Amino acid sequence: MELLQVVVYVAVLLLLTKPLGLYMSHVFNGERTWLSPILAPLERFIYNFCGIEPNSEMRWTTYTTTMLLLNIFGALLLYGILRLQQFLPLNPQHFAGLSPDLAFNTAVSFVTNTNWQAYGGESTLSYFSQTAGLVWQQFLSAATGLALAIALIRGLTRRSAKTIGNFWVDLVRSFLYVLLPLSIMMSLVLVSQGVIQNFNPYATATTVEGAKQTIAQGPVASMLAIKMVGTNGGGFFNANSSHPYENPTPLSNFLQMLAIFLIPASLTYTFGRFAKNQKQGWALFSAMLFLFLTGFAIMYWSEQANPILTRLGVDQTASQFQPGGNMEGKEVRFGILNSVLFAAITTDASCGAINCLHDSLTPLAGGIAMLNIALGELIFGGVGAGMLGIIVFAILTVFIAGLMVGRTPEYLGKKIEPKEMKMAMLAILIVAASILLFSALFCVTPQGLAGRANLGPHGLSEMLYAATSASGNNGSAFAGLAVNAPFYNVILGLAMLLGRFFFIIPIMAIAGSMAGKNLVPESSGTFPTTGLLFIALLIGVILIVGALTFFPAYVLGPIVEHFLMRAGKLF
């Protein structure tokens, strides 16, 4: 019955991929949709009010610069809201403003779609900060990622063009036609399941023992909807989606997992529509699905096969064995499968929402979750960002295939030349360097080592996961690492900026370069990019690059911890 849930999940995802992907292709091509009678007048009003000329397109440099300036402004605005929180409305708990380092970390986190939270939301942020600050940025970061994905797709599929679209138009359409309708529907369904939505002060209850307990509440459903639809991950409560106010029922849990993959999966169909060859989109979808299911299978096996209880003797050797798998750190309402499935989905999609404690996963399961992020947001990935990552690896794959047959590599009928390869490798190396160099910094500095909750390889995994999550714009954590300190807040904030915007710039350069190229006629030497051979090569390149880059670090962390656990030693 547990595995049947996975089958149902994949089946529903497949059923929704085509209609939403087709709808988004109509939206971003400026074609009429079933929402046009309602939203088209509002869209025109926004263009007129903001002075946007929708028919004026941008070169990749202008498109990228405009995106960067808007997100810089958004970060500064959110930083100001967080610092001045005590003077702003909707603060019934009278929370003080955040410290400079925590405000910096949080502002960067939500602008970059990372949503790393070094604080407890219900004990730190006012309703105004949660809604006008964080929810707004969750919409903006998701819309930015979606716009960038469409710009890259245009660059790959246009012929002899100098432009890749208008950033403002793509942003507005992402908001109005995609994110807002899905979030409204998701909010209403979540409220029907018991997710709360109010602006009441926190309630005080008296427990059976006579003690006083504060029960946090607030506008949860509206934040939760865009948290999942936009693959953001930032929760209203510190417990995130394991909290009964955020995730009350099995249906709400299923819908949250579905919402995480919905737009990234559908974008592969949109890609096929733009390319006028639907097999191109299904090839990318197939590679993503294979990697997702393989990673999940390893995680599920590891959690079910764990023989160790957490109760240890003084000599740190296991005293008992536990049948039935590892339930440590899991919400009993969801059990092992739904916890592991949620963990695999959220790390594949750079979402960062959690319904179990990743620090309590077995070493192999935690290592796969870490690898999912480190591979570069490409196993469905974040909204838009997943398409950026998988296309970079598709370009690298056809380049390697071209070397094998001694021909100039081509993708979608266009030659892949040195400029595109340099930009693709730069994008891959930026994220890898950020993960490994910041992890090394944590390991050799007193401030970095001070945050560990565990010694040995698990302590290394905690630091490695933090750098991976920040650089990969995921936002989940092992939670054993104390990161709400100036050192970690600043360093992880820098890692988020590198992993988001320094990753995006070379990819936009690829979009601009490819847009200006003509199609090359197919020949007998053309490598097809729609068949099983291409899918297998793409998966192989992704795994080989990941293995070569991160395997030495993982040997010292989750892999050696796995073998020590089997020998009866825990950390």
pLDDT per residue as tens digits for the range 394-442: 999 999 988 877 777 889 989 998 999 999 999 999 999 999 999 999 9
Considering just the CA atoms, what is the radius of gyration of the chain in Å?
A: 23
pLDDT at 306: 65
**What is the pLDDT at residue 404?**
79
CA angle, residues 415, 421, 424, in degrees to nearest 5: 120
Q: pLDDT, tens digit, for every residue of 41-100?
A: 999 999 999 999 999 999 999 999 999 999 999 999 999 999 999 999 999 999 999 999
User: What is the mean pLDDT of the segment spanning 118-133?
Assistant: 93
Report pLDDT for 1. Answer: 81
**Whether pLDDT at 153 is above 90:** yes
Question: Where in 64-144 does DSSP place strands (E)?
Answer: none
Tens of pLDDT along 285-308? 999 999 999 999 999 999 987 655
For residue 311, the model assigns a pLDDT of: 42
With beta carbons less than 8 A apart as the criterion, state whether 424 and 395 touch: yes
414, containing H or E segment = strand 414-415
What burial class does residue 298 get, using C-beta atoms within 10 Å of its C-beta: 0-12 exposed, 13-18 middle, 19+ buried?
middle
The CA distance from 482 to 504, in Å, is 30
pLDDT at residue 194, as a whole number: 95
Contacts of 547 (CB under 8 A, 6+ apart): none
**Residue 169, Cβ density class (10 Å: 0-12 exposed, 13-18 middle, ≥19 buried):** buried
pLDDT of 132 strictly over 90: yes
Question: Is the predicted pLDDT of residue 23 greater than 60, yes or no?
Answer: yes
Residues 485 and 434: their CA atoms lie apart, in Å, by 20
pLDDT interval class at 160 (50, 70, 90): confident
Instruction: Give me the mean pLDDT over the 552-559 stretch.
Output: 94
pLDDT of residue 566: 81
**Which residues sit opposite 219 in a β-bridge?**
197
Quote the distance between the C-alpha of residue 113 and its chain's center. 7
Structure tokens at 222: 């509206």
Supply the pLDDT for residue 318. Answer: 43
pLDDT, residue 472, reads 92
- pLDDT at position 308 is 59
Predicted pLDDT at 261: 96
For residues 549 and 544, what is the distance between their CA atoms, to the nearest angstrom? 8
pLDDT band at residue 317, thresholds of 50, 70 and 90? very low
Q: What is the mean pLDDT of residues 156-173?
A: 94
Residue 388, judged by CB atoms within 10 A of its CB (0-12, 13-18, 19+), counts as buried
| Cβ pair 290, 540 in contact under 8 A | no
pLDDT over 50 (residue 321): no
Q: What pLDDT score was predicted for residue 378?
A: 86
Percent of the chain with pLDDT over 70: 97
Q: What is the pLDDT of residue 316?
A: 44
* Those residues with Cβ within 8 angstroms of residue 137's Cβ, 6 or more apart along the chain or in another chain: 74, 78, 107, 110, 111
Distance CA 324, CA 212 (A): 37
Q: Which of 187, 299, 166 has the alpha carbon at shortest distance from 236?
A: 187
Q: What are 330's strand-pairing partners?
A: 356
Cβ 562 vs Cβ 362: under 8 Å: yes
Q: What is the arithmetic mean of pLDDT over 120-129? A: 93
Structure-model confidence comparison of residues 30 and 402, the more confident one: 30
| Residues 180-189: tens digit of each pLDDT | 999 999 999 9
Q: What share of the chain is helix, strand, coil (3-state, %, to 5)?
A: 65, 5, 30
What 8-state DSSP symbol labels residue 165? -
For residue 266, is pLDDT > 90? yes
pTM exceeds cut of 0.85: yes
Residue 142 burial (10 A CB sphere; 0-12, 13-18, 19+): buried
For residue range 211-254, what is the model confidence (pLDDT) as tens digits? 999 999 999 999 999 999 999 988 999 999 999 999 999 999 99
Q: Which helix (H) or strand (E) holds 203?
A: strand 203-206
**pLDDT of res. 319:** 41
What is the reported pLDDT for 409?
A: 87
Are 471 and 440 in contact by the 8 Å Cβ rule? The answer is no
Q: What is the mean pLDDT of residues 184-205?
A: 94
Per the prediction, the chain carries an average pLDDT of 91
pLDDT of residue 218: 93
Mean local confidence (pLDDT), 166-170: 97
pLDDT of 151 higher than 90: yes
Nearest to 128 by CA among 172, 182, 191, 77: 77
Q: Which helix (H) or strand (E) holds 170?
A: helix 167-173
